[in-house]
C-alpha cells in the first residue's frame, strides 16, 4: 500500500476563507462584480487594469487577464480596499453564459496562479449569497 499521510505537519491550518480569491457578482439590485481584497492585492489592481476573457468554445469558461493597454478596465476602489466593476450588459452576459440565476448574488472563486497569463474564474464554484435586502423587501410586501 502506498500511503499519503495527512497530519499536523502536512495540513496547512492557516488557510482562512477570508483570504480566498473571490469575486462577488450581483445582477438584480446593483449590477456589479466586486473583487475580494485578497484578489485585488494578487492582481495589484492599484496599478493594473484587467480584461475579462471568455472561451468561445466553452462559453461558461471565464478568465481575468491583466491588461494595461488603453482598452483595459480600470476598476474603482471602495473605502474597504476592494475593487469593483459595473456594467449591466456585461454582467447579464456573464450570468447567461454561466447559467446563473439573475435574481441571485454569487461568490465565485478565482485561481491564485495564472496559466498563460489568465486567472481562471471557477464558475463551478459559484455559491449563492443570501441577500438580506431582498429578504426584507419580500417580508415587507407580504
Q: Which residue has the cell 438584480?
A: 28
Bridge partners of 66? 50
Give the pLDDT confidence of 78-136 residue by residue, as tens digits: 887 789 999 888 999 999 999 999 889 999 999 999 999 999 999 999 998 865 444 43
- Sign (positive or negative) of CA dihedral 104, 107, 111, 114: positive
- pTM here is 0.76
Please measure the distance between the N-terminal and C-terminal CA atoms of the chain and give it in whole angstroms.
61
Measured CA to CA, the distance from residue 104 to residue 43 in angstroms comes to 26
Question: What is the mean predicted confidence (pLDDT) over 44-62?
Answer: 94
Amino acid at each position: 500500500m502506498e500511503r499519503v499521510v495527512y497530519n499536523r505537519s502536512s495540513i496547512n491550518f492557516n488557510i482562512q476563507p477570508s483570504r480566498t480569491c473571490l469575486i462577488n457578482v450581483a445582477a438584480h439590485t446593483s449590477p456589479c462584480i466586486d473583487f475580494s481584497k485578497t484578489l485585488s492585492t494578487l492582481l495589484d489592481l492599484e496599478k493594473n487594469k484587467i480584461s475579462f476573457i471568455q472561451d468561445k468554445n466553452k462559453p461558461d469558461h471565464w478568465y481575468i487577464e491583466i491588461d494595461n493597454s488603453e482598452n483595459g478596465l480600470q476598476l474603482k476602489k471602495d473605502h474597504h480596499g476592494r475593487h469593483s466593476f459595473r456594467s449591466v450588459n456585461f454582467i447579464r452576459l456573464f450570468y447567461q453564459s454561466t447559467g446563473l440565476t439573475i435574481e441571485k448574488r454569487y461568490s465565485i472563486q478565482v485561481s491564485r496562479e495564472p496559466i498563460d497569463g489568465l486567472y481562471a474564474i471557477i464558475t463551478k464554484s459559484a455559491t449563492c449569497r443570501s441577500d438580506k435586502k431582498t429578504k426584507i423587501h419580500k417580508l415587507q410586501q407580504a
